[in-house]
Amino acid sequence: MEQLLDLYSRHPIVVLSGAGVVFLAIVISVVAGFFRRRRFVRTVIAHVSTPGTSGLPDGVTEDEVLRRSALIVRLARKTDAPIVTTLGVDRLWSDRLQAKERASDFHRVIEFGADRGLFSCFLVALRNKRRAKELRAYLAEHSDFLVLRKLSMSGRGESFSGRAARDFFAERLDEIRELAGDPEWPGRYFAVKILVHDDDERSHRAVTEAFDDPHALVRRTVAEEAVPRDSHAFYERLRALYLGDPVYEVRAAAIARIRSEFGELHTIDVSSLDAEQALHAVQLFDERSEDDQNAAIGLLSGKDVEQRLVAARFLVRARVLHGMLARADFGDRADMERTRDLLGNAMSVNVTGFLSVLSENPSPATLMIGAELLCQHGDPSLIRELAERVLRIQERVIPGFTDLYAATLRCISTRGDESTLSMLSREIPRRVTSPDLLEIALDAVPSGHDLVFRDALYAAMADPAFPARDALRRAILRLDPADTLSRCLDIVTSDRDRNPHRVRIDALTILGQLKLAYALQEILENLSILPAEEAREFAHDLAEYNDKELERKVKYLLDGVDGAIRAAIIAALPSTGKKTFLPQIKSALRDADPDVRIAATWALVDYEETRALGQAVDMLRDPVERVRTSVARALSAGGGPSVLKSLAATLEDPNEVDSVKLAVIDGLGAARSADAVDALVSVIERGDQLRDATIAALGAKRDKTSIARIIERFKDADPDVRSAIADAFTAMGTHAEPSIREVLEEGIESLKPFLVEILESTGYVDSRIRKLKHRDPSVRREAASFLSLVGSPAAFRGIVLAARDPDADVRVEVTKALEALASEDGTELLRDLEQDPDRRIRKYTHWALERVRAKSL
């Protein structure tokens, strides 16, 4: 104050002007408030006076109405208009009363909103003694039964303390019991909530009858709060609710009560229930119970799709399916299959929540199953996360990576968005050094996404060193045909130096596979781009063109001057299956162009024209070496027994020149005939100077029939010939090993020693022994099984090392092998194993034999 006086004494004008401004602001505020209040009153009166109106007037908010509650009360007392109920202020007061328990709101609801808010007053009264006294006074003034009904009907199922309410209404419990039979559910709920805490027999009867009440909230209330007099009878009522009630919240309340108070009585066998009861039971299985989990797994494995759904949802809640997916292991393929089938059943009913494991540091096997499942169902956003994880894994770091990679790319191709498809596109140049993975990536390219894949695919096609050309062409054929046609025509019709030959071959092949009739002339005129073998394959596509048009164009070109085109067309014709041009092909055997002569010879082979081929034997003396070689191959491949006999005679002819003999030997090496093997071995037996070429020809044979005949000749040959044949097997390398193994597995005892000798000489047995250390149990099982089949000392030295393999199937193979040794023929080998210089061999042999002896007891 002293400071203000001091300021006034020094600056009186300033102080007076400032005070004036403040005073003026107060006056304006008061006047503005007066006018706002007046406008509010007019708006409200006009609104409630309009017939059929309800709710708040336009421009008036709930907050404003609540702020002016006192004004509304005064207006309501002055007029007969239903201001409170029309505006809905009674509801607003009731809601605020429950939230803040204001005494003013309590009084307003009692006076003006009892029909809507009396239950709110009741809830507050149960917590506030002063409000309880006021509510009792109100109820005493309205002592008729209807006031209790009005109280109950103003509620909508709000929870309250039934015990406190029972004490509150201790003098009016008869009226409460009457409410238990009210036709409206709020009255019955209100009554039952109170009567469950009353010991009177009449109250108990009303509560018991409420187990069958039409309203779910009433049934839930008795399930949760009723006090049992007969425990077993009460349990049976709860069990009936748990299994039979159509409302989930009631069933949930019933089973919760059972588990908390009647666990010793409760057992459930889903198989003994009807279909609906089984569904209810599974919905509320205990997530912590292993018995419930196992029962749910059994239902998920079944064919009933309704039971699958509830079982799958339960197993997701219990995170059982999450655990199965997370524990998947490539080392146990059988378990992986079971897991995949089970999770697939869950996904068949659109339960996919367990796939969230893919975001939780999953194992490669988990990723594998996830990829297979995501191909059909599940959150598509998981596909990108799956792809990012899988594509980061280094090739060959884990067993089964190729399968995982393929499943992931199928998933991207089937359901991936643009971003994941772009990841697939980037895999094409990235995998050029891994042909197997590259082919998988190319085969995963989907149709309809040209903008994503076009650049990568055409760039790969333009690179002649790019591998997996077949898969690349298949991928390009899934692009827009209009763009592909234009690009390929540009390549095949441009100057040959402009594009590498490999690229031109691919472009022409793609043109044929597009099967566009209007491009047929361009295709045929450029057919010479293809090598002979590819031209024959290409002709399968030509066979699908219009017959008459194709024949007309072929005849035109065969009558033309260009030898390369004629050779290419002749080479292709047999694959069309059409023999219209056979006369022209036969006459082409004498064509001036060497390539035409070669093509004609092979065409006759493909047409299986054996008699015409017999006339081609003279071409073995063709002046052009490549014609002689090709004819020899053709005659060996398709000439039949008589032609092969002529070829063998050519080899025996001392007057025949070596160049012709070399061509015949080369041809016999390509023939898939046991007679060809005999002809070649005969050359070796004669000590012919062409021995090296003959060994190479034998080494070129990889088919099972030829190998079986070579082994027969090996068995009966003298040492020098056997040495030469062994050299041939060495030349075959790993290519022949599968065929040799097939012959071994046929169990021909007379051939077995020689087969084993060959496999040991090529190092195949040693490679199988090394497989016994492989991380994948399936590889170890296969190796152990094969070594048991071989049965040689070297094989058994390897197999005993697997006697303590962690995989049971591997140990079974070891035991079976040693059981085979426990015979008279195996005694010497067994003695050698027990005396082996390697300590581990001796130890494991002894240990394994103990197992065999124990098994025989």
Long-range contacts of 848-854 (CB under 8 A, 24+ apart): 848/800, 848/803, 848/814, 848/815, 848/818, 849/818, 849/822, 851/803, 851/815, 851/818, 852/815, 852/818, 852/819, 852/822
Buried b (16+ CB within 10 A) or exposed e, 811-834: bebbbebbbebeeeebeebbeebe
- From residue 691, give the alpha-carbon distance in Å to each of 424, 683, 695, 699: 52, 7, 6, 12
Say which DSSP state 703 is in. S
* Rounded Cα–Cα distance for residues 29 and 640 (Å): 119
Helices (H), 515-622: 520-525, 532-542, 547-558, 563-572, 582-587, 594-606, 610-614
Residue 439, helix vs strand vs coil = helix
First-to-last alpha carbon distance for the chain, in angstroms, is: 116
* Confidence at residue 180, expressed as pLDDT on a 0 to 100 scale: 92
* Cβ partners under 8 Å of residue 146, min gap 6: none
pLDDT at 143: 72
**Residue reference for tokens 């059981």:** 819
Residues of the chain with pLDDT below 50 are 4, 826-827, 857
- Residue 148 to residue 125: CA distance in whole angstroms: 14
Q: 409: which 2 tokens?
A: 């790319």
3-state class percentages of the chain: helix first, strand second, coil last, to nearest 5: 75, 0, 25
Dihedral sign (CA 679, 681, 686, 690)? positive
Three-class DSSP category at 706? helix
Element (H, E) at 754: helix 752-761
Distant-in-sequence, close-in-space partners of 516: CB < 8 Å, separation ≥ 6: 481, 485
State residue 857's pLDDT score.
Answer: 46
Measured between alpha carbons, how far is residue 73 from residues 43, 58, 79 in Å?
Answer: 16, 20, 10
For the chain, counts of helices (H) and of strands (E): 53, 0
CB 584 within 8 A of CB 556: no
Within 8 A by CB and 6+ apart from 641, the residues are 675
Rounded Cα gap, residues 16 and 314, in angstroms: 80
